[in-house]
Structure 1
Amino acid sequence: MHEGNTVLQAIAADRPAFGVAAETRSPIAVETLGAVGFDFVWVDLEHGGPSPLDAPALDELVRAAALAGTELFVRLPSGEPHVIRKALDAGVRTLLVPRVETATEVERAARATRYVYDGEPGDRGIGDGRDTRWGADLAGAVADEEVCLGVMIETAAAVEHLEAICAIPGLDFAFVGPADLSVSLGHPLETDHPEVRAAVSTVETTVAASDVALGGIRNDPEAAAAAIDDGYRVLRVGGQLAAARETLAERLDALSTE
């Protein structure tokens, strides 16, 4: 298995972790994109793809990431403990929980990721999945210190409770979702609306004052560089399908003008 969680390593070193989305959710895509040199490959199971309870599908994605020397970064459909535990059992180490709104929700999710949580027994169980090399290493190939937990901040309620959320032990990063935040604030997809911009600014300021890393999406290199200067440390900087569209469209345009 790929050793060392590259996302956690970047956060600990206070350097940005760069990732890319594999929208096809294919092991081939994960392996190919990971081999480019990204710290993580993002797979979204909230809006599509296999069920997070489909262990064989997750096994293949984790294996592809390990072969490429990158970290599989999985956005789950929910922070329910049984969903988290199933993903961890399959060897996923970096989890992003969407649509959290309270510190209580985040603590429940964090407890599910740990055998030992904040000095007490956690809510994670020992199984015979890929994380324990199918029962050969019951100490856990994915130990507590290699688990990286993030939450999406994408609702008005989450912004309101963000200070308490960021104080939860076991939370490693908070990821800003301006698009869904705009919906929650009553301005669908108006990410430049003053109210949305103010909410994002509040998130940035609140996270900066905590021990939690800040994450976001920046598909333009200049915007990504500016985000790093603003304190972002977990950055998704592109996607498989958008890159394919742009590259192939440019080639077709070049051929069409000859």
Structure 2
Amino acid sequence: MADETPEPRRVGFVGAGRMAEAIAQGLIRAGKVEAKQVLASAPTDKNLCHFRALGCQTTHSNHEVLQNCPLVIFATKPQVLPAVLAEVAPVVTTEHIIVSVAAGISLSSMEELLPPKTRVLRVSPNLPCVVQEGAMVMTRGHHAGNEDAKLLQNLLEACGQCIEVPESYVDIHTGLSGSGVAFVCTFSEALAEGAIKMGMPSDLAHRIAAQTLLGTAKMLQQEGKHPAQLRTDVLTPAGTTIHGLHALEQGGFRAAAMSAVEAATCRAKELSKK
């Protein structure tokens, strides 16, 4: 049976930074919404020019976005989101679906700033949304129903994978996937530098390292194997891979990666409490 989830006629963005642009680009490329039906607001033209280049409508008025769009994605910096929500609260109705991609601002905090029974959802994206390969989790407030969640999930899958989770998982996702982009880049850089040390040209080493990460990730997704199974497929007795893995274990690679996710998650939780 075909997906009968209705698409919103208009989608609004309050805040027009890189993440907002990435999401808008994904929606438009996937045909989820027409460019002319996207309305974005920001205080200056600095970022709005990117939305105009996509064919979207722009404004400097946050109220105008709320007055014209049933679904509005708030992509402001976390420290300014409470003030922005308080500003637009007088024009928010029960017909709106309010979505935040700002880190550290809880659903309950947003609900307190908005009118009673406002439908609020929270999304934690990561940078690969820019290339429509994001890893996102979403969670809903007290008044957002199944259809609201289904609608948002259907839209955001244009930007990658979007999974509904309890709000308690959002900070963990930040440590795993938000900060994880930097961890993976560090590993890719280290792989390439190992090849450079052994005599491979830098540009070639970095290209091959990036492709190795991409290909491995696709295999993990498409074959549905546990990483340990795929790792075993590469191992041969007394071969090159087991010698390399032994060196990684000697360097504490596994523990360091686990500690990195733990440290980033703990920091995300600290920021959420502020």
Please give the TM-score of this superposition, normalised by the length of structure 2. 0.34
User: Quick check: which has more Rg, 1 or 2?
Assistant: 2
Greater strand proportion? 1
Please give the TM-score of this superposition, normalised by the length of structure 1. 0.35
Greater relative contact order (Cα 8 A, min sep 6): structure 1 or 2?
1
